[in-house]
Structure 1
């Protein structure tokens, strides 16, 4: 991993750990919100879980590529992002997406 990638990931991590809800944890696996993984570093790419429409849009525009987990499970909403400039924005989106309860299905 390059020093630039390490610095970018550290900056994203610091930003999210200072979230006003204090609901982000840094683990060896990556960043968790309320116990659920939402972002991690894989090689020189940030991998994030986003809503299906958003991850599809990013893939179609060539901003991200699909992430395929070697551990099995559903990874259709997970994307790899190489552009360091986008990491903060997409990590915040992933934090919000994974950390918020689903809308509806309560009746």
Structure 2
């Protein structure tokens, strides 16, 4: 169950992408070009980042690896600190929304 404080923080993050036509926002998920890059899970924001960035955040105790069905979900991290949500959501948007390297060759 999401608290009103977490819901409000998520709304603030979602609002920050309102000028990006590539982003679709629904009740608790953010998509860029049709691919999910962040979602609200209870009172945490879960974002997709590079494996090295997920490792860094987890090792420093800044966030926790996200698990799905009791298994770690590759490249996904659970962020409890709402002050970090905007920064990590932007980072996730850039990570997921960038075209694959070499896609033009």
TM-score (norm 2): 0.89
Q: Provide the residue aligned with 2:42 in structure 1.
A: 43
* Structure 1 residue 65 displacement after superposition: 0.6
Structure 2 match to 1:80: 78
Task: Give the root-mean-square deviation of aligned CA atoms.
Answer: 1.8
Gaps of at least 5 residues in structure 1 are none
What is the match of residue 12 of structure 1?
13
Q: Structure 2: which 5+ residue stretches go unaligned?
A: none
Distance in 1 of aligned mates of 2:52 and 2:104: 23
The whole-number CA distance in structure 2 between the counterparts of 1:65 and 1:106 is 35
Q: Name which of 76, 101, 104 aligns with 1:103.
A: 101
Number of aligned residues: 103
Moved over 3 A (4+): none
